Structure 1
Amino acid sequence: MSIGVLVVDDSAFFRQQIRSIINAHPQLTVVGEASNGREAIDKTLRLKPDVITMDYEMPMMDGISAVREIMNKQPTPILMFSSLTLKGARVTLDALDAGAVDFLPKSYERVSGANSSLKQVLVEKLIAVAKPKVGLTTAAPVAPARRVSQAKQYTQKFELVLIGTSTGGPVALQKVLTQLPANFASPILLIQHMPGSFTGAFAERLNSQCRIGVKEAEDGDVLKPGVAYLAPGGMQMMLTAKGKIKIFEGDARLNYKPSVDLTFGSAVKHYGNHALAIVLTGMGADGRDGARLLKQANSVVWAQEGSTCVIDGMPSAIVKANLADEVIPLLDVAKRMAEVVR
């Protein structure tokens, strides 16, 4: 089954480049184009695409207003194109709040290059975010019994919470962290796949919305209860001692910067069985290897329940590897965290 894509951008050149990438893939077809937000809404209602690519700065109606109206009238997975600036980060976060599922950096050079890495990422993300809508699965089926698990009782004290996520993560983290009480008893490490220019703005936004403190992690930070530390985009975050953060560039052997696996794994030596690791929505399997190390140290691992994920790749990898102590719907995660972290 072909996935129909609506391409929305006020640049005819950019639309042409995106169209050629999409139509070159056997699973994707451009079903329409729009040059402003108003036209995007009209064509969404008429063409009913499976997924939309959306620019944010357009005449007549901007991308965020269009996202908001589309999600109200004809809910459709929307992938935003964003500039890698502070303004672009804030606008993209607004678009995610309005209902967009993910974003990609907008670069005329990268999209027109013969061997552009953006092309592969664009195709992968379009297919991934459209799959639930067109009735395809995002991962191998998991037995229903693994999808719902009873809330467990834990004897250990949780001295650290780690949360790893990717596609769909900004909204998921917002829904979890805004529900935590100001006196939450543990520090939290947040590992979200995100460009370096975005994480500062994202941490600021979360800090303004939450009762706990949220900050972009810095090298040498000492962990405090009731504070969440967001790994800087394009960097790696690990623990070098109990309660102490190290931020560094890392090397090319790790696919993700930041890497959930690296941060999870670094907690094993210093926290043993006193860590709680949570894997939320995201593509791929980052976090699975780190979760395995934590489980070997008798720490606890939770996965987000698949039907509540934007993309069930990362949580499903945890479940399929039999690493999940609990499989929890997104809106119940904060409640369970508050119950077990005391």
Structure 2
Amino acid sequence: MPVKVLVVDDSGFFRRRLVEIFESDPRLKVVGTATNGKEAIEKVQSLSPDVVTMDYEMPVLDGIAAVVNIMKLKPTPVLMFSSLTHEGAKVTLDALDAGAADFMPKNFEDISRDSAVVKKALIDRVLAVARTRLAGSRAPVEPLAPRKAPKPIVTAKGVIIPRVRKRVGLVAIGTSTGGPMALQAVLSQLPSDFSAPLVLVQHMPAAFTGAFAERLNNICQITVREAKNGDRLEAGVALLAPGGKQMMVDPRNGGCVKILDGDERLNYKPSVDVTFGSASKSYPGKVLSIVMTGMGADGREGARMLKNSGSKVWIQSEESCVIYGMPMAVEKANLADDIIDLEHIGERIVREVG
């Protein structure tokens, strides 16, 4: 059965072009279109699409209000389209907060060209969003069990040697689809006196990461900011890799980050693999890394390097992921030291860092 798509946009050109692209793939079937948010809500209820593509700026009712109502009345995966501006980024984050599963930049020039790359990207994203898990569909998560003290080592001569955990020198988190809300859930649990620096990699366009860092900083007790070349790694400060760039961890000057343009051959800018790999060399055996929700396998090779250097690798559980792609890649490579529900990751980080 093909995936049923509802296309919502007040631009006749954009609607027609999306319909053409989706109908060119036998895995997709456009079951309807809508020109405003009110019409979208009605058609979601009458047509029961598997996924909705949603514009933000529309008459009668905008995209965010439409998403809020859809999630109340008939929860359905939504892919938002937004402009590549700072304001567009803030609107997109509001839409994700309202329940949208993912987003794509709305670029009329790209969509008007008969580009195989653009068509594939759109189709792949819609198919992926159709498979996402909605927050309300997840089973309740059990509370985290009280922490047990590590058992001491008893030698043959009866000498008791307490187990000493390696101090965490750096927390590194990588994520993609579903990541903005997942990072918000995790980082908001960290206290203001958190005693380790953090580096964050979220797959996002360049125009979005600044607004995302601002939002995280406003809701978290720790400090969150978009990383700049030479920024120092400081306890209680999370540096978010800027979109379109690569962020590497540098051990010099007490620990800092380098922001580079990176290799054009890399699929992701920023890339979790690049940041994790550099962290494995800069903080051997002292990194606590977490791979969270997202499409693809970015983070797997970086996790391998971290494991080989003696650091820990955690992944988000399948049940709590929007898309279990990146964590699954780490799990299938037998690199995960622990699999944790999203609701418990923040608390576990606090425990581990101490």
TM-score by length of 2: 0.90
Given the superposition, is the C-alpha separation of residues 267 and 15 from structure 1 closer, same or farther in structure 2, using an over 3 Å criterion?
Answer: same
**In the alignment, which residue of structure 2 is the partner of 1:98?**
98
Q: Contact 1:151–1:326 at 8 Å: present in 2 too? A: no
Match of 1:170 among 180, 199, 207: 180
C-alpha distance in structure 1 between counterparts of 2:80 and 2:259, whole Å: 29
Q: Which has the higher contact order (CA 8 A, sep 6+)?
A: 1
**In the alignment, which residue of structure 1 is the partner of 2:202?**
192
Match of 1:310 among 310, 319, 322: 322
Alignment partner of 1:179 is 2:214: no
- Offset at residue 151 of structure 1 (A): 8.3
**In the alignment, which residue of structure 2 is the partner of 1:60?**
60
**In the alignment, which residue of structure 2 is the partner of 1:142?**
none
CA deviations on 1:18-37 (whole Å, 9 max, x unpaired) are 00110111110000100000
Counterparts of 1:288-303 in structure 2 under 5 Å? Answer: 288-303=300-315
**In the alignment, which residue of structure 1 is the partner of 2:213?**
203
- Offset at residue 115 of structure 1 (A): 1.5
Q: Which runs of 5+ in 2 are unaligned?
A: 134-145, 151-163
C-alpha distance in structure 1 between counterparts of 2:62 and 2:310, whole Å: 50
C-alpha distance in structure 2 between counterparts of 1:32 and 1:83, whole Å: 24
Match of 2:242 among 228, 232, 235: 232
C-alpha distance in structure 2 between counterparts of 1:95 and 1:227, whole Å: 26
C-alpha distance in structure 2 between counterparts of 1:261 and 1:10, whole Å: 39
**In the alignment, which residue of structure 1 is the partner of 2:353?**
341
CA deviations on 1:152-196 (whole Å, 9 max, x unpaired) are 968211110000000010010001011111111111100000000
Letter in 1 for 2:123: V
C-alpha distance in structure 1 between counterparts of 2:124 and 2:322, whole Å: 14
- Offset at residue 240 of structure 1 (A): 2.2
* Aligned-pair identity (%): 58
C-alpha distance in structure 1 between counterparts of 2:198 and 2:79, whole Å: 29
* Secondary structure, aligned partner of 2:288: strand
Q: Contact 1:7–1:53 at 8 Å: present in 2 too? A: yes
C-alpha distance in structure 2 between counterparts of 1:263 and 1:314, whole Å: 15
Q: Which runs of 5+ in 1 are unaligned?
A: 134-149
Letter in 1 for 2:68: R
- Offset at residue 116 of structure 1 (A): 4.7
**In the alignment, which residue of structure 2 is the partner of 1:146?**
none
Which structure has the bigger radius of gyration? 2
C-alpha distance in structure 2 between counterparts of 1:151 and 1:48, whole Å: 45
**In the alignment, which residue of structure 1 is the partner of 2:142?**
none
Counterparts of 1:116-195 in structure 2 under 5 Å? Answer: 116-132=116-132, 155-195=165-205
CA deviations on 1:208-262 (whole Å, 9 max, x unpaired) are 0000000000000011100110000000000122511000101212110001000
Alignment partner of 1:251 is 2:263: yes
Letter in 2 for 1:246: K
**In the alignment, which residue of structure 2 is the partner of 1:34?**
34
* Secondary structure, aligned partner of 1:211: coil
Query: Aligned residue pairs: how many?
Result: 329
**In the alignment, which residue of structure 1 is the partner of 2:140?**
none
CA deviations on 1:18-58 (whole Å, 9 max, x unpaired) are 00110111110000100000000000011110000000000
- Offset at residue 287 of structure 1 (A): 0.3
Given the superposition, is the C-alpha separation of residues 121 and 22 from structure 1 closer, same or farther in structure 2, using an over 3 Å criterion?
Answer: same
Q: Contact 1:110–1:116 at 8 Å: present in 2 too? A: no
C-alpha distance in structure 2 between counterparts of 1:39 and 1:2, whole Å: 23
Question: In terms of mean alpha carbon deviation, does 293-302 or 153-162 score higher?
Answer: 153-162
Q: Contact 2:171–2:289 at 8 Å: present in 1 too? A: yes
C-alpha distance in structure 2 between counterparts of 1:50 and 1:175, whole Å: 26
Counterparts of 1:277-292 in structure 2 under 5 Å? Answer: 277-292=289-304
Given the superposition, is the C-alpha separation of residues 331 and 240 from structure 1 closer, same or farther in structure 2, using an over 3 Å criterion?
Answer: same
Question: In terms of mean alpha carbon deviation, does 49-58 or 120-129 score higher?
Answer: 120-129
Letter in 1 for 2:296: G
C-alpha distance in structure 2 between counterparts of 1:219 and 1:19, whole Å: 42
- Offset at residue 117 of structure 1 (A): 2.6
**In the alignment, which residue of structure 2 is the partner of 1:216?**
226
Q: CA RMSD, aligned part only?
A: 1.8
C-alpha distance in structure 1 between counterparts of 2:34 and 2:331, whole Å: 40
Match of 1:270 among 263, 282, 290: 282
TM-score by length of 1: 0.93
Q: Which runs of 4+ in 1 moved over 4 A?
A: 150-154
